[in-house]
């Protein structure tokens, strides 16, 4: 198995590039943002709880997210690998993921971090607000999400850097050029399917 984390601040293009990577390399896609939005739209108890945090631009508590993801990892035995999108977002989540994968005799192989200047992140998220059904894309919530990223999520990059697994990728090129940079790193481990 080849397991990849696509890392980066909100608005850095993780969702878009995950779709490209999934198509090329045939990996299982696990996006905690998508999973949470699905729980919210079905108004499950987990979704009702998570929505309070998401609507305000805060991270959903670790135990909720970790509990949600553990079943997903086992959902498709025999997959080529998994791409994690928007997870882990805290050091506690990263440690929990390491343990879950170790239990399956596998590990995270590579963490690709999309690097995008802050003014461009805000511009992209405001643009997305006009076309998506996300409840978290207004200026006030966006600024809270970026604060949460710096306080809680940025340390996750250091966690993987210390393990020699982190590669920083320029994320403000056009979509195809950024995808080429990402592919160049993935190809060192796994060729397109």
Judged by beta carbon, residue 21 or residue 190, the one nearer ligand AMP is 21
DSSP state of 43: T
Question: Which positions from 78 through 97 interact with ligand AMP, judged by CB under 6 A?
Answer: 86-87, 89, 93
Task: For residues 165 and 1, give the distance between their C-alpha atoms in angstroms, rounded to a whole number.
Answer: 16
Total residues at the site for ligand AMP (CB under 6 A)? 16
Sign of CA dihedral 53, 86, 3, 78: positive
CB nearer ligand AMP, residue 59 or residue 110: 59
Q: Is 9 in the site for ligand AMP (CB under 6 A)?
A: no
Interface pick for ligand AMP out of 21, 36, 169, 190 (rule CB under 6 A): 36
3-state secondary structure of 88: coil
Task: Report the alpha-carbon distance of residue 157 to residue 165 in Å, rounded.
Answer: 9
Q: Are 137 and 192 in contact (CB under 8 A)?
A: no
CB of 55 to ligand AMP, least distance (A): 8
Residues known to be catalytic: 14, 89, 128, 134, 145
Q: Which is nearer to ligand AMP, 32 or 113 (CB)?
A: 32
- Which of 8, 10, 13, 171 binds ligand AMP (CB under 6 A)? It is 10
Residue with the shortest CB distance to ligand AMP: 33
* Closer CB to ligand AMP, 89 or 124, in the complex: 89
Q: In angstroms, rounded to a whole number, what is the distance separating the alpha carbons of residues 16 and 114?
A: 12
Distance, CA of 145 to chain centre: 14
Helix axes 91-103, 62-73, angle to 10 degrees: 30
Q: What are the residues whose beta carbons fall under 8 Å from the beta carbon of 147, sequence distance 6 or more?
A: 57
- Nearest residue (CB) to ligand AMP, 67 versus 192: 67
Residue from 136, 159, 166, 171 binding ligand AMP (CB under 6 A): 136
3-class SS of residue 7: strand
Q: Which of 96, 145, 182, 186 binds ligand AMP (CB under 6 A)?
A: 145
Residues that bind ligand AMP (CB under 6 A): 10, 32-33, 36, 53-54, 58-60, 65, 86-87, 89, 93, 136, 145
């Amino acid at each position: 198995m080849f397991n990849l984390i696509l890392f980066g601040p909100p608005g850095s293009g993780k969702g878009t590039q995950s779709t490209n990577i999934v198509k090329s390399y045939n990996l299982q896609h696990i996006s905690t943002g998508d999973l949470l939005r699905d729980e919210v739209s079905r108004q499950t108890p987990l979704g009702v709880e998570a929505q309070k945090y998401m609507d305000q631009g805060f991270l959903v508590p670790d135990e909720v997210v970790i509990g949600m993801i553990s079943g997903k990892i086992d959902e498709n035995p025999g997959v080529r690998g998994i791409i994690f999108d928007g997870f882990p977002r805290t050091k506690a989540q990263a440690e929990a993921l390491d343990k879950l994968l170790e239990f399956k005799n596998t590990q995270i192989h590579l963490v690709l971090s999309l690097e995008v200047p802050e003014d461009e992140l805000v511009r992209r998220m405001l643009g997305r607000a006009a076309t998506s059904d996300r409840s978290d894309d207004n200026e006030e919530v966006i600024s809270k999400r970026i604060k949460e990223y710096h306080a809680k999520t940025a340390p996750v990059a250091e966690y993987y850097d210390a393990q020699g697994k982190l590669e920083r990728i320029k994320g403000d090129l056009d979509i195809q050029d950024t995808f080429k940079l990402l592919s160049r790193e993935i190809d060192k481990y796994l060729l397109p399917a």
